Structure 1
């Protein structure tokens, strides 16, 4: 959901951004977009470049790297893929038929910065965490339209990439079952797609600097 200048300043100020950065980002945002059409377009999901792909928002690998291969860190098998997300495009732009993300928050924040709307020449997809087996990695990723998914927010830090604290599920029952099976998540909440859009930009690691970078304020 596109925000106006005043909303941008208020949100970024709450995130701790400087007044200058808040003002500059607000000036970068386009005018308010008209309401989404009643009928949303559904574009087929595109192939995922697992071996070479990087997140279009934060530039982290889409596929969980081998131990020590990325910044010397080691991640649990299948850790990155569990929140892979995609914006499938009706018409390719700059040689790309989709935008790829390793975090749901990265996708929502990218769309917020660039004014991309689900169902308007695009379809947003998320990985169904309830059907995902980390041991199988990319082969187990099943994409569902973001507008049809429900989202589990868990208080625990670091249970998904970018500390975004959100994973997607096909149904509320599946999300609640996952929460019951993982009580160490702490407090949990069930959210829908529209709520994620309303809350954008979503909190995640390095959010202010990433917003500034995509707004053209940082190289």
Structure 2
């Protein structure tokens, strides 16, 4: 696939998945952002854009350094996406939402920063692994980028305190499915509240991590 074909495919993919995410109520307004890595650059949702109304020619095309080549200016939160793309792992898509339940959980006190979402079902571990947590910093700030960069080396899913979730995957499909599973896991956590919960055991969690590590 040449660059033009790769670029066209990435743009159409962002529009398709963005609309699906918007229509199912996982994002509203202009709060979300998504990017896809190309062989020699990136396609990114523009700043102040709504996933329900993305336009092909408006999508931000960046070179490998992150400089704008065509389209509207990229979301300022692309700096967060770069934390994952700069890692040795071959991440091809990063998705950041302000989805209701994951953002609500990000506002809770006392979360385990290395395992913020307890293992209620197998599926979050199967699709995304453990979820890290970083302290609150202003959106787009260098402090937030530095905090996220430390976790992106190990985790593919992170909750940013009082802000929301960000996930990375080796394809747009996997990124969307992982974000959906994270949102549903956070919904379960909030629904269960103070109930006595039968969490997966450490042994069960370790089995999932070993069995699905290469498939994430």
How does the TM-score come out when normalised to structure 2?
0.30
Q: TM-score, normalised by structure 1?
A: 0.30
Q: Please identify which structure carries the higher helix content.
A: 2
